[in-house]
A and B are shown apart, each in its own frame.
Chain A
Amino acid sequence: MKILVLVKQVPDSAAAIKLAGPAAIDRSVKAILNPYDEIAVEEALRIREREGGEVVLVTLGPPAADGALRAGIAMGADRGVLVSCDLAFPDPRFAGRALAAAVAAEGGADIVLAGLRSIDADGWQIPYRVAAVLGWPAVNGVTKLELAERVATVTREADGGDLEVLSLPLPCVLGANRGLNQPRYPKLPDLMGAKKKPVRVVGPKALAGAGEPAVLGVTGLELPPPRRAARVLEGDLTVAAAELVRLLREEAKVL
């Protein structure tokens, strides 16, 4: 079974983001593998453990995005492909085409896994875009996956918390949600060994169908304003709770 996993490098979820100009962020911020992509990588490894095959990671990004590939390789993936693109805000239409072109250049796959969303751009769209270009079916937000006879049976949380069980034929694109698995932590030797595994760097121009790199029209970035100091109530709880309700009604006007 050949499993391709689409991964993305994102700023650390706890790091402070600094601006570097009107429409750019300071890219020296500590970077991590997108947490949802970790779940996708973990699921790919479990499929390989059951069925054999190969797990290949594909990313689109600047040279530093090699870090996301190495993080996934340290978890156990076989190798990586870096589609180089040094744009701060690549147009997701271009990203989808470029990633689909990279999948095609790999000779296709049985399954393409991705994360439900990236925690930086938060678009929830790459699985659908890649699937649309490849002409494959896609389901996002998968919390359970079973494979049998080239059919994927997946569970996802629907509107209102109901669970939907869906089936779709391979090849397909699946987006991983929290709950699908608990990603493994790589051990130190794995982290060291990941540096030696092969990563192929390819420009989008070398990929048939990737199209021209394009940016999404970001015109300005700003940091949200800080909140004013909190009004903290102490002392007798009955009094404090009544005062809080009064403040929420009369001062904040939210009740």
Chain B
Amino acid sequence: MSPGDPIPSVGVFLETSGGVPRPALAGALAAARGGGARVTGLASASEAEACASLLGAHGGGRLVLLTGEPAAGEWSPSRIAAFLAAVVRAEGLDWLTGIASPLGREVLPRAAALLDAPLVTDAFRFDPATGAVRQALYGGRVVADLLLAARPAVVGLRPNAIAPAPAAGPVERSEFGDAVVPDARIRLVRVERRDRSGRPELSEARVVISGGRPMAKRENFGLLFDCASVLGAAVGASRAAVDAGMAPHEMQVGLTGKTVNPDLYIACGISGSVQHFAGMKTSKVIVAINNDPSAPIWSKCDYGIVADLFTAVPALTAALKSAAAVAGGRT
């Protein structure tokens, strides 16, 4: 912050998916406004309307829009990182934040390196006025408080960790594009699309249902996908299931996979290793479905059913459907 200006300025990368701002940005904007900080949203001009309405519904602020068309073969994360760093420099922002999504974990560290700024990649508490940041270390086995003294500094915020604080506010737009120079040495050759069929992104999902080695084969994950459809959940897998070829690596939850932070985590046939818990231990509620009464997960979950997952998961799916039908009948 500039001398004599006690109000910190916070840039928030407004990440979108399919033209829609990430739901977890509501919490990120609440954190960014902490202590009366001035918020600047950073977004692509092609998504200006959606981002302006998000910002306007969460306190308002400036909205700096990345204009111009990417060159052929340009790789979008390189362009976004260059944009974020250039705006932080040009505007003299104290903080750059965003959500610790897969894209956030790519562009925020890249921008931090361009700015030679300190970085906390996956914070679950952030106060821009004091510089206090809280994060997990050692796979969630330790919680660390940090005080970031240097400015600018970069903070990725864990999805769902900070409660949104909706409040209407004015949005002032401006455009920015000329000073953005992506690393042209990195060329995008092609993209191999994978159909996720409208399921929520694992790291951002409010409900996650995961399967372990007892799932036995890839086709059996259909049981979890059926349950996930009723719950609006993302589906995850343990390392053992991924290593056995039952699920692709991008579904892996744990120390060497994704970190999730849902309201509800349902672990099916997962013993509850330290490594798996590193990826999901901050879940608000953990449910275990396991037929091994001596598995370590029983000392680390909130609710559980001791039963074979091949009968218990369909029973849960049926119970969820009938509960939804009852609730639907009431309204």
Query: Which residues on A are within 8 Å of B, measured CB to CB?
Result: 11, 13-14, 16-17, 19, 25, 35-36, 91-93, 96, 119-125, 128-129, 131-132, 137-141, 143, 153, 157-169, 172, 177-179, 216-224, 227-228, 230-234, 237-238, 240-242, 244-249, 252, 254-255
Question: Counting CB contacts under 8 A, is B219 at the interface?
Answer: no
Q: How far is the CA of A48 from the CA of B54 in the complex (A)?
A: 51
* Nearest opposing residue in chain B for A136, CB measure: B185
For A93, give its contact among B103, B116, B186, B273 (CB under 8 Å): B116
Interface residues of B in 279-319 (CB under 8 A from A): 281, 284-288, 298-307, 311-312, 315-316, 318-319
For B252, give its contact among A120, A139, A169, A178 (CB under 8 Å): A178
Excluding A219-B146, A240-B315, 18 further A-B contacts by CB distance (< 8 Å) are: A11-B138, A123-B121, A157-B102, A159-B102, A160-B194, A162-B192, A164-B75, A164-B190, A221-B142, A227-B286, A227-B301, A230-B299, A230-B302, A238-B319, A241-B316, A245-B319, A245-B323, A254-B284
Contacts of A233 in B (CB 8 A): 303-306
Number of interface residues of B (CB under 8 A): 88
How many inter-chain contacts with C-beta < 8 Å in the A-B complex?
240
Select the stretch in B3-11, B41-49, B56-64, B106-114 that faces chain A.
B106-114
Contacts of B112 in A (CB 8 A): 125, 128-129
Mask, B117-158, CB within 8 Å of A = 1, is 111111000000000100111111111111111000000000
Contacts of B175 in A (CB 8 A): none
Q: Determine if B149 and A240 form an interchain contact, defined as CB atoms under 8 angstroms apart.
A: no
Contacts of A92 in B (CB 8 A): 118-119
Subset of 11 A-B contacts with CB under 8 Å: A16-B141, A119-B278, A122-B122, A124-B105, A162-B191, A165-B192, A219-B145, A233-B306, A238-B315, A242-B319, A254-B263
Contacts of A232 in B (CB 8 A): 298, 303-306
* Nearest opposing residue in chain B for A240, CB measure: B305
For B257, give its contact among A11, A178, A245 (CB under 8 Å): A178
Contacts of B301 in A (CB 8 A): 227, 230
Q: Determine if A17 and B274 form an interchain contact, defined as CB atoms under 8 angstroms apart.
A: no
Q: How far is the CA of A223 from the CA of B139 in the complex (A)?
A: 12
Q: Determine if A137 and B273 form an interchain contact, defined as CB atoms under 8 angstroms apart.
A: no
Question: Counting CB contacts under 8 A, is B193 at the interface?
Answer: yes
Instruction: Report the 4 A-B pairs with minimum CB-CB distance, sorted nearest first.
Output: A128-B113, A241-B319, A125-B109, A241-B315
Contacts of B193 in A (CB 8 A): 162
Given known pairs A216-B146, A220-B145, A230-B298, the reply for A132 and B116 (CB within 8 Å) is yes
Q: Determine if A166 and B186 form an interchain contact, defined as CB atoms under 8 angstroms apart.
A: yes
Expressed in whole angstroms, the minimum distance between the Cβ of A173 and any Cβ of chain B is: 10
Contacts of A16 in B (CB 8 A): 141
Q: How far is the CA of A218 from the CA of B263 in the complex (A)?
A: 28
Contacts of B138 in A (CB 8 A): 11, 17, 25, 119-120
Contacts of B192 in A (CB 8 A): 162-165
Q: Determine if A231 and B113 form an interchain contact, defined as CB atoms under 8 angstroms apart.
A: no
* Nearest opposing residue in chain B for A220, CB measure: B145
Given known pairs A129-B113, A230-B303, the reply for A223 and B142 (CB within 8 Å) is yes
Given known pairs A137-B186, A165-B191, A234-B306, the reply for A217 and B147 (CB within 8 Å) is yes
Q: Determine if B109 and A124 form an interchain contact, defined as CB atoms under 8 angstroms apart.
A: yes
Expressed in whole angstroms, the minimum distance between the Cβ of A208 and any Cβ of chain B is: 17
Contacts of B188 in A (CB 8 A): 164-166
Contacts of A244 in B (CB 8 A): 287, 303, 305, 316, 319
Question: Counting CB contacts under 8 A, is B183 at the interface?
Answer: yes
* Nearest opposing residue in chain A for B254, CB measure: A13
* Nearest opposing residue in chain A for B109, CB measure: A125
Q: How far is the CA of A142 from the CA of B27 in the complex (A)?
A: 30
Mask, B231-271, CB within 8 Å of A = 1, is 10000000000000000111010011100000110000000
Contacts of A17 in B (CB 8 A): 138, 141-142
Q: Determine if B285 and A248 form an interchain contact, defined as CB atoms under 8 angstroms apart.
A: yes
Contacts of A35 in B (CB 8 A): 255-256
For A160, give its contact among B17, B149, B306, B311 (CB under 8 Å): B17
Contacts of A160 in B (CB 8 A): 17, 102, 194, 196, 201
Q: Determine if A237 and B147 form an interchain contact, defined as CB atoms under 8 angstroms apart.
A: no
Q: Determine if B189 and A230 form an interchain contact, defined as CB atoms under 8 angstroms apart.
A: no
* Nearest opposing residue in chain B for A243, CB measure: B319
Question: Counting CB contacts under 8 A, is B101 at the interface?
Answer: yes
Contacts of B207 in A (CB 8 A): 254
Q: Determine if A222 and B116 form an interchain contact, defined as CB atoms under 8 angstroms apart.
A: no
Question: Counting CB contacts under 8 A, is B89 at the interface?
Answer: no
Q: How far is the CA of A168 from the CA of B278 in the complex (A)?
A: 33
Contacts of A216 in B (CB 8 A): 118, 146
Q: Determine if A245 and B113 form an interchain contact, defined as CB atoms under 8 angstroms apart.
A: no
Expressed in whole angstroms, the minimum distance between the Cβ of B191 and any Cβ of chain A is: 5
Contacts of B304 in A (CB 8 A): 230-233
For A217, give its contact among B113, B148, B185 (CB under 8 Å): B148
Expressed in whole angstroms, the minimum distance between the Cβ of B272 and any Cβ of chain A is: 11
Q: Determine if B137 and A122 form an interchain contact, defined as CB atoms under 8 angstroms apart.
A: yes
Q: How far is the CA of A232 from the CA of B44 in the complex (A)?
A: 48
* Nearest opposing residue in chain A for B282, CB measure: A224
Expressed in whole angstroms, the minimum distance between the Cβ of B70 and any Cβ of chain A is: 14
Q: Determine if A248 and B143 form an interchain contact, defined as CB atoms under 8 angstroms apart.
A: no
Taking each of B113, B114, B147, which has the highest tally of chain A beta carbons within 10 Å of its own beta carbon? B113
* Nearest opposing residue in chain B for A34, CB measure: B256
